[in-house]
Structure 1
Amino acid sequence: MAPTPRELGAGPSMGPRAHVAPPEDGTEVEGADFARVDWWGAELEGVTFTRCRFDDASLEELVTRRCVFDGCVLTGVRLGGSRHTGTAFLSCRFDRARLIDVTWDGCKLTGSQFPGAQLRPMTAIDCDWSYTALRGADLSGLDLAGQRFREADFTDADLRECDLTGANLDRARLQSTKLRGADLRGASMDEVNWRAFELTGVRIDLVQSVQFARAHGALVAD
């Protein structure tokens, strides 16, 4: 039987805490409040958190393997230097989160939102960012090659000098996105609004150049 938030030492009635022991491997936790918890350097494997809160938690150097954070709130969380392998953050909120030097390896972040979050520098390898809200995010200079951003919202985001070669950007929203110096060659960009952003200084391939031309009314011969 999964432990309750009270058994884990978490809950809205506890107030400020310095340390609460992390759950054991394979544990399922639902509805727990881990606000201000201190799990610096902890290692979690196979743990599932559903609708939990980690407001202002100290999770620096945290290591997760094949964990799931489903519908969790991580407002103001500090995750600097943490490493996540095969972990899923599904429809989570990272408001004002400090995600400096985070490594995401084979992670799913689908449907998550990052308002005001610090996302760079970071390392992301073979991750799925589909349906994420990255409005206004600073992702400049990051290597995001081959990753999935299907229907992601990059409105007003900074993607300058980003490597997005081979990425999936189908239906991504790029309204007023900064892209100067970015490399989009080989990226899938079906149903992208090519009129919504500036292409000056952006590297694109032949297929993308045709899509851009057609979006601007050109008649491209087959």
Structure 2
Amino acid sequence: MKIESLRVGAYKIPTDAPESDGTLQWDATTLVLVRLDCQGHTGLGYSYAHAAIAGLIDSKLRPVVEGRDPFEGPALWSEMLNSLRNMGRPGLTSYAVAAVDVALWDLRARLLGLSLVDLLGRARRGIPIYGSGGFTSYSLSRLREQLGGWVDQGISMVKMKVGRQAEEDPERVRVARQAIGDQAELFVDANGGYRRKQALELGKRFREEAGVSWFEEPVP
């Protein structure tokens, strides 16, 4: 049993409107998609990363993977990392290896006729989810609509972005709390947009004024 081909492509997907968080703005998302073919089955993997990793995967990782047994998991992982040794391990190289590794796991599950959760070993029947959005580019009405809509659909935890205009964030967080009611959990994510003292002060306000239970990446 051998992997017959690795194909990779980068796709730019426009958002329905410009979006921003505490430190970045964008109007599209780049998806790098990997396809592995073996005995009539195709495993899919992807990374949310710069399109440059498509070339990295094709030039460096494809020669490692093609012609190999897809069940050589640890060996393939080590050899992929070794092939990128002089490029450093963090950053784009990690995104590249991750996309291929996910495709390998998907391919193994398909070859065995199993769901991936059963191949990995199911530990529970279900897990709670949270809705993530509430971008800093949203108007208050759009913020209410999105977060409140998720709770109406039965999602009991929601996360919103803060950190771009700190002086407006307490009001935005209060509006979010009003939209989701008292029973849902509210998370905030600043994407490193605050200074240390600013984060401490605002974190306290978010907790006291809106019952925020999770404050993600407050500082760089």
TM over 0.5: no
TM-score by length of structure 2 reads: 0.23
Q: If the length of structure 1 is used for normalisation, what is the TM-score?
A: 0.23
Could you say which structure has the higher strand fraction? 2
- Greater radius of gyration (CA): 2
The answer to which structure, 1 or 2, has the higher relative contact order (CA under 8 A, 6+ apart) is: 2
